[in-house]
């Protein structure tokens, strides 16, 4: 009888102890931190339990969430603290289970997509900036974003196969699109194309064969003379004057071979791009009156003999002669 009484008392004592520790033996705080004498219902306006002490800070939407949404059991330490424990993975594990890589507690909206792509080695630049996720990540759902690789051909194989001007397959072009196309451009055929050698102005030629004589497109040189040897040979006195075969020394790409800037002229011959003669000429023939570019004349521009004579009245050996001008003013200086 005594044994039965002892067991009954022990059971009642255990029930009493458990009723005082509904939230688990390890949860030891003053009840009034959450509850009030009017009932067990929690008054959130007076709720002051420091949830930070659990290692899971309540911020953003978690501040507004009802405790029972996370704590299915009244034993609070049974609640897990990873995102996937509470949130269904709508991405089917295609981006991992760390929701905080993309989302914040404030909202499910993602505002760091460019940064995420940079971390994965594929910056969203140019046309890739304005694409929707599903334009590249084509999966069975619009929320599953399987990795597709960072190589251009991962997305653009169809563009490569369908190309006709020129036919990329027949020409043996690389499937590494960036060898010919500018990744930050929005256009395959204009600003995007041939960016390593801009096809602008006089080079705006849409007939590839005009420059690429064989199907080996890589064989074409970017040196001016590789295409313009005949132009050089037929130009007035270029050979005789030993002009450079680097056309850009004198010409830009405007049609008509306009000579706009002879970069080496100042150092080798006479300053025409600096000093007093900078911007004082429009074409080579302003000074070179014959096809022999070794000949030039100062008096073509400086032709007011009386004014020049007055300026040089203290020079005993003054002559109105181009060679005499050059002898005293080899750098075009006024004094």
Helices (H), the chain: 2-20, 67-70, 83-86, 113-119, 133-136, 153-162, 225-234, 265-268, 305-311, 322-328
> How large is the C-alpha radius of gyration of the chain?
41
Output the CA–CA distances (angstroms, integers) from residue 101 to 105, 107, 112, 320, in the order listed.
Answer: 11, 13, 9, 81
Instruction: Kindly provide the b/e burial profile for residues 183-208, where b requires at least 16 CB atoms within 10 angstroms of the residue's own CB.
Output: eebeebeebbebeeeebeeeeeeeee
Is 214 among the domain residues?
Answer: yes
Quote the tokens at residue 283. 């074409």
Say whether both 190 and 165 belong to one domain.
yes
Low-confidence stretches of the chain (pLDDT beneath 70): 1-20, 44-48, 190-191, 260-261, 334-335
Q: How many whole angstroms separate alpha carbon 309 and alpha carbon 324?
A: 13
Is 318 among the domain residues?
Answer: no
CA 217 to chain centroid, in Å, comes to: 27
Say whether both 133 and 158 belong to one domain.
no
DSSP string, 191-249: TTBTTTS---GGG----GGGT--SS-GGG---STHHHHHHHHHHSTTTTTTT--S-GGG
Q: What is the pLDDT of residue 105?
A: 87
Tally of domains in the chain: 2
Q: How many whole angstroms separate alpha carbon 236 and alpha carbon 240?
A: 9
Is 130 among the domain residues?
Answer: yes
Say whether both 215 and 200 belong to one domain.
yes
User: Contact 175/160 with Cβ under 8 angstroms?
Assistant: yes
User: Contact 153/177 with Cβ under 8 angstroms?
Assistant: yes
Output the CA–CA distances (angstroms, integers) from residue 230 to 130, 205, 226, 245, in the order listed.
Answer: 46, 18, 10, 11
Q: How many whole angstroms separate alpha carbon 331 and alpha carbon 270?
A: 6
Say whether both 138 and 113 belong to one domain.
yes
The answer, yes or no, to whether the previous bond of 4 is cis (omega within 30 of 0) is no
pLDDT digit string, tens, across residues 95-115: 888 888 888 888 888 888 888
Say whether both 168 and 203 belong to one domain.
yes
Is 166 among the domain residues?
Answer: yes
Is 24 among the domain residues?
Answer: no
Name the residue range of residue 129's domain: 102-148
By residue count, the chain amounts to: 335
Q: What is the pLDDT of residue 109?
A: 84
Is 35 among the domain residues?
Answer: no
Q: How many whole angstroms separate alpha carbon 172 and alpha carbon 167?
A: 9
Quote the tokens at residue 323. 């060679």
Structural domain ending residue among the three candidates 148, 175, 203: 148
Instruction: Kindly provide the b/e burial profile for residues 115-136, where b requires at least 16 CB atoms within 10 angstroms of the residue's own CB.
Output: eeeeeeebbbebebeeeeeeee
Q: How many whole angstroms separate alpha carbon 217 and alpha carbon 209?
A: 9
Q: What is the pLDDT of residue 190?
A: 65
pTM for this one? 0.48
Output the CA–CA distances (angstroms, integers) from residue 192 to 70, 171, 178, 179, 198, in the order listed.
Answer: 52, 19, 9, 11, 10
Q: What is the pLDDT of residue 261?
A: 67
Q: What is the pLDDT of residue 1?
A: 54
Say whether both 144 and 157 belong to one domain.
no
Structural domain ending residue among the three candidates 205, 220, 235: 220
Is 118 among the domain residues?
Answer: yes
Q: What is the pLDDT of residue 14?
A: 42
Say whether both 161 and 214 belong to one domain.
yes
Structural domain ending residue among the three candidates 220, 238, 267: 220
Say whether both 138 and 191 belong to one domain.
no
Say whether both 144 and 195 belong to one domain.
no
Say whether both 133 and 187 belong to one domain.
no
Say whether both 162 and 142 belong to one domain.
no
Say whether both 141 and 156 belong to one domain.
no
Q: What is the pLDDT of residue 44?
A: 67
Look at the alpha carbons of 201, 207, 211, 216 in this order and tell me if their dihedral is positive or negative.
Answer: positive
Is 143 among the domain residues?
Answer: yes
Q: How many whole angstroms separate alpha carbon 139 and alpha carbon 142?
A: 7
Q: How many whole angstroms separate alpha carbon 266 and alpha carbon 272?
A: 6
């Amino acid at each position: 009888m005594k044994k039965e009484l002892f067991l009954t008392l022990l059971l009642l004592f255990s029930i009493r102890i458990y009723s005082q520790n509904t939230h688990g033996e390890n949860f030891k705080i003053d009840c009034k931190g959450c509850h009030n004498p009017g009932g067990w219902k929690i008054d959130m306006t007076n709720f002051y339990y420091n949830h930070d002490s659990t290692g899971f800070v309540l911020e953003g939407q978690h501040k507004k969430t009802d405790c029972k949404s996370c704590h299915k059991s009244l034993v609070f330490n049974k609640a897990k603290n990873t995102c996937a424990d509470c949130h269904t993975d709508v991405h089917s594990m295609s981006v991992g289970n760390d929701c905080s890589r993309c989302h914040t507690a404030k909202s499910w909206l993602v505002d760091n997509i460019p940064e995420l792509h940079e971390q994965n080695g594929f910056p969203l630049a140019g046309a890739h900036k304005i694409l929707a996720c599903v334009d590249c990540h084509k999966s069975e759902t619009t929320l599953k974003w399987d990795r597709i690789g960072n190589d251009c051909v991962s997305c653009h194989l169809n563009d490569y196969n369908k190309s006709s001007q020129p036919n990329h397959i027949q020409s043996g072009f690389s499937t590494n699109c960036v060898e010919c196309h500018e990744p930050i451009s929005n256009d395959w055929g204009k600003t995007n194309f041939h960016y390593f050698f801009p096809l602008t102005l006089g080079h705006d030629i849409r007939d590839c064969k005009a420059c690429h004589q064989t199907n080996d497109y890589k064989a074409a040189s970017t040196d001016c003379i590789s295409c313009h040897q005949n132009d050089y040979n037929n130009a007035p006195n270029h050979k005789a004057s030993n002009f450079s075969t680097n056309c850009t020394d004198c010409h830009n790409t405007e049609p008509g071979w306009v000579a706009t800037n002879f970069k080496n002229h100042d150092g080798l011959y006479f300053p025409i791009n600096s000093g007093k003669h900078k911007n004082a000429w429009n074409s080579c023939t302003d000074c070179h009156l014959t096809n022999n570019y070794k000949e030039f004349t100062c008096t073509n521009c400086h032709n007011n003999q009386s004014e020049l004579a007055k300026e040089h009245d203290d020079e005993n050996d003054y002559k109105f002669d181009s060679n005499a001008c050059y002898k005293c003013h080899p750098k075009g200086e006024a004094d």
